[in-house]
Structure 1
Amino acid sequence: MALAAADRATVRALWKKMGSNVGVYATEALERMFLGFPSTTTYFLHLDLSLGSTQVKAHGQKVADALTLAVEHLEDLPRALSALRHRHVRELRVDPASFQLLGHCLLVTLARHFPGDFSPTLHASLVAPTPGA
């Protein structure tokens, strides 16, 4: 099931509002995940995971770039993210539950930074089912 047009518009409007700070928010979401769910750090033992670490910021920017790619291709997420999905599932063997935890931490981060925009409608749009993505 594809994301509805209204959901795509809602997500894109928030992304536009985030502007050049997507990496900042993605980094904060990663930091939240690492602190709140320490088991997720197992994939990052080679990084300095302290708050404000340049390595976490760099990975946060990678996450931001992937999320921006997803937002740009909401009409066909599975195809747009297939290479990234393959790398994380097949090569890096990342537990799919870690993505759910990161998603939760991103929602918390966005709700904190955009409280006036973070309506139930926006929340639903951000968690709308996207099979195969």
Structure 2
Amino acid sequence: MVTWTDKERAAIVGIFAALDYEDAGPKALSRCLIVYPWTKRYFGAFGNLTNAAAIIGNPKIAAHGVKVLHGLDLALQHMDNIKETYADLSILHSETLHVDPDNFKLLADCLTIVVAAKMGHAFTPDAQHAFQKFMSVVVSALGKQYC
């Protein structure tokens, strides 16, 4: 079980409150697919992903990036029980979609970069610590079914 300080909770909620999901979601997912091209294998039905411009301009990728961020809202609402909250999502990704669980970490890293770029100097070491702790718990919860 993860414990959160009031300061960590406030930082995490503040970061997500400041995020423009329509901007950050597509940027994070596009970055992941471009930087780690092997992750594209799960998006074969999304159309042309042959180069960076095609990925960035792909409306299905953009929509899925937004969906991912809205999925994180669920974790925000249940910070004290993220693993149980994501149990069904973990099963979906492992048993139905067969997503490599390492990809969750890669996407979390890409989202961290997008958040840092957006927040600039406001993304202090304390804010980064809280955000990355949160994302680590989410990644662990999504990968729970793989164990």
TM over 0.5: yes
Aligned counterpart, 2:144:
none
TM (norm. structure 1) is: 0.90
Contact 1:23–1:63 under 8 Å retained in 2:
no
Which structure is higher in RCO with an 8 Å CA cutoff and minimum separation 6?
1
**Distance in 1, Cα, partners of 2:57 & 2:122:** 26
Does 2:78 match 1:73? Answer: yes
- How much has 1:42 moved relative to structure 2? 0.5
Of stretches 102-111 and 89-98 in structure 1, the one that deviates more from structure 2 is 89-98
Distance, in Å, in 2 between the alignment partners of 1:123 and 1:61 is 21
Give the Cα–Cα distance (whole angstroms) in 1 for the partners of residues 137 and 69 of structure 2.
Answer: 18
1:23 touches 1:64 (CA, 8 Å); kept in 2?
Answer: no
Q: What is the TM-score when the length of structure 2 is the normalising length?
A: 0.82
- Hey, what's the Cα distance between the residues in 2 that align with 1:90 and 1:102? 20
Percent pairwise identity: 27
- Which structure carries more helix by proportion? 2
Of residues 115, 122, 127 in structure 2, which corresponds to 1:122?
127
Correspondence for 2:39: 40
Q: Which runs of 5+ in 2 are unaligned?
A: 142-147
Residue from 71, 91, 100 that aligns with 1:95: 100
Given the alignment of the two structures, is residue 104 of structure 1 paired with residue 105 of structure 2, yes or no?
no
Letter in 1 for 2:21: V
State the Cα distance separating 1:79 from its structure 2 match: 1.6
* Number of residue equivalences: 131
SS at match of 1:2: coil
* RMSD between aligned residues: 1.6
Residue type of the alignment partner of 1:34? L
User: What is the Cα deviation at residue 62 of structure 1?
Assistant: 1.4
2:4 corresponding residue in structure 1: 4
Which runs of 5 or more structure 1 residues have no equivalent in the other structure?
Answer: none
How much has 1:3 moved relative to structure 2?
3.7
Q: Which region of structure 1 is more displaced relative to structure 2, 57-66 or 3-12?
A: 3-12
Alignment of 1:40-59 (within 5 A): 40-48=39-47, 49=49, 50=54, 51-59=56-64
